[in-house]
Amino acid sequence: MSQYDYDVLVIGAGPGGYVAAIRAAQLGLKVACAESRETLGGTCLNVGCIPSKAMLHASEFYEAAAGGSMAEMGIEVKPKLDLGKMHAQRLDAVGGLTKGIEFLFKKNKVDWKKGRASFVDAHTVKVGDETVTAKNVIIATGSSVTPLPGVEVDNDKQVVVDSTGALELKAVPKKMVVIGGGVIGLELGSVWRRLGAEVTVVEFLDALLPGMDGDVRKEAAKIFKKQGMTLKLSTKVTGCTVKGKKATLTLESAAGGGSETLEADCVLVSIGRRPNTDGLGLENIGLELNQRGQIETGHDFRTKVDGVWAIGDVIPGPMLAHKAEDEGIACAENIAGQTGIVNHDVIPGVVYTWPEISGVGLTEEDAKARGAVKVGKFPMMANSRAKTNHEPDGFVKVIADAETDRVLGVWCIASVAGTMIAQAAQAMEFGATSEDIAYTCHAHPTHSEAIKEAAMGVTGKPIHM
């Protein structure tokens, strides 16, 4: 008999934790997963990826009908917004998927321990009133919203909200101010703009979407402005007062000075997320955090404490569901004695706006800082499918090493950029050159042909330009 209740206890049932738990069980280990939320699936399924995509998808249809792009194709409709029903289909998607994880836990014999988990020692964890022992503990506690001092979020009042509140607004705000021009601000700002809100994005930096390729950031700003968003770049919010259903924000230039005020019916605070470690009892196992409040691990996801592992948003790297999932699989495999690896150089990122924005690998700026590069770029305007579908905005950019031609990064702005980026990630995993992509037969007519043409552009030979 083992001296422990379980081989593996996972803390947190988000995409990192639930995937790790299932993989560990598939590998024959006895597994439990502690989750304090009422439902499984973490931020992603409950208040993140899935509900935001449900609102993005529905609002995209609304705008296509209301904003004229359907009329362009000979379909005249006057849409009527039933926001209650739109929210209901969002909740339905969330309910179905979170129940699906519950089913997968049962199928794989993963025990769900309901409650907040806290370390007693490295192999003993209190979950609510229960004490659970495990040979290995995986911390997969995720992240939550970074607060902005002076701008207090109150999701119940629906005036100053975070992403969770912004998914649930009961009425379309007339004027919405989004603080932070990152992924959440642009996705949820897009939802409410499409449904009729006047949206202003206040961003501290001089461009949207930090971390993305410079050309992509510039083009994104042009596209969002064309869609009617007001962008206040290089601007910071210095305060917020709420009276009844109205908020007044004070703004200053990021460099200081030039104070102005901005009124809004709804303010979305989306300035980033921070790791969840409060109350975990890390002091009881002697595990310290880095300067950004994250848990450091080795490539195998072991922490400095023997038997304790960590994955997902709580460790360094992009805060993305698929990154957390892949780490969950690799970590479980390592615990089972296999060799689990995640290639952190090839993690795609997608912004699910219209058009979508995606990228994988290095930005042109980062690639150039490392050595000589060749770049091929192809506009979606010249892609037959995008043009036929009335989707002219965007481009594909392929960045390759000037000497070896190995692909270092691919960036796309296109209606289906999120789907297109998968082939680039796979090509890079296989160490592809731009020539490999250029000489791969791509189906016609597809948006993906733009990736082939951009790859052909690396050596100066696109056909349709």
List the interface residues with ligand FAD, window 36-65 (CB under 6 A).
Answer: 36-37, 42-44, 48-49, 52
Question: Which residue in 47, 310, 319, 330 binds ligand NAD (CB under 6 A)?
Answer: 319
Q: Is residue 183 within the footprint of ligand NAD (CB under 6 A)?
A: yes
Q: Is residue 313 within the footprint of ligand FAD (CB under 6 A)?
A: yes
Q: How many CA atoms lie within 13 A of 325 on its CB side?
A: 9
Cβ neighbours for 409, distance < 8 A, ≥ 6 positions apart: 213, 359, 360, 361, 362, 363, 364, 366, 367, 397, 398, 399
Q: How far is CA 443 from the centre of its chain?
A: 29
Catalytic center residues? 444
What residue type is 176 in one-letter code? M
List the interface residues with ligand NAD, window 339-378 (CB under 6 A).
Answer: 349-352
For ligand FAD, which is the closer residue by CB, 163 or 190?
Answer: 163
Kindly indicate which of the ranges 32-40, 96-104, 198-206, 221-229 contains the residues binding ligand FAD, using the contact rule CB under 6 A. 32-40
Here the tokens at position 247 are 């908020």
Kindly indicate which of the ranges 130-138, 280-288, 312-320, 398-406 contains the residues binding ligand NAD, using the contact rule CB under 6 A. 312-320
List the interface residues with ligand FAD, window 341-360 (CB under 6 A).
Answer: 352
How far is the first Cα of the chain from the last one, in angstroms, to the nearest whole number? 69
Q: State which residue has the least CB distance to ligand FAD.
A: 142
Q: Is residue 276 within the footprint of ligand FAD (CB under 6 A)?
A: yes
Q: How far is CA 60 from the centre of its chain?
A: 19
CB contact at 8 A, 236 and 254:
yes
Here the tokens at position 403 are 């000497």
Strand-strand pairing, 31-35 and 111-114: parallel
Q: Which does 15 bind (CB under 5 to 8 A by kind): ligand NAD, ligand FAD, none?
A: ligand FAD
Helix ranges (H only) for 298-352 are 321-335
Instruction: Please state the closest distance from residue 52 (CB atom) to ligand NAD, in A.
Output: 6
Binding-site string for ligand NAD from residue 217 to residue 256, where x marks contact by CB under 6 A and - marks none = -------------------xx-------------------
For ligand FAD, which is the closer residue by CB, 400 or 425?
Answer: 425
Q: Is residue 116 within the footprint of ligand FAD (CB under 6 A)?
A: yes
CB contact at 8 A, 265 and 198:
no
Question: Which residue in 24, 32, 134, 140 binds ligand FAD (CB under 6 A)?
Answer: 140
Cβ neighbours for 69, distance < 8 A, ≥ 6 positions apart: 63, 390
Nearest-angstrom CA–CA distance, 203 and 216: 16
Nearest-angstrom CA–CA distance, 339 and 323: 17
- Smallest CA-to-CA distance from 116 within 36, 9, 178 is with 36
What residue type is 8 in one-letter code? V
Q: Is residue 418 within the footprint of ligand FAD (CB under 6 A)?
A: no
Q: Is residue 280 within the footprint of ligand FAD (CB under 6 A)?
A: yes
Q: Is residue 202 within the footprint of ligand NAD (CB under 6 A)?
A: yes
Helix ranges (H only) for 48-162 are 49-66, 83-107
Question: Which residue in 203, 213, 333, 356 binds ligand NAD (CB under 6 A)?
Answer: 203
Q: Which does 178 bind (CB under 5 to 8 A by kind): ligand FAD, ligand NAD, none?
A: none
Nearest-angstrom CA–CA distance, 419 and 155: 33
Question: Which residue in 8, 172, 271, 438 binds ligand NAD (CB under 6 A)?
Answer: 271
Interface residue list for ligand FAD (CB under 6 A)? 11-17, 34-37, 42-44, 48-49, 52, 116-117, 140-143, 163, 184, 276, 279-280, 312-313, 319-322, 324, 352
Interface residue list for ligand NAD (CB under 6 A)? 148, 179-185, 187, 202-205, 210, 236-237, 270-273, 318-320, 349-352
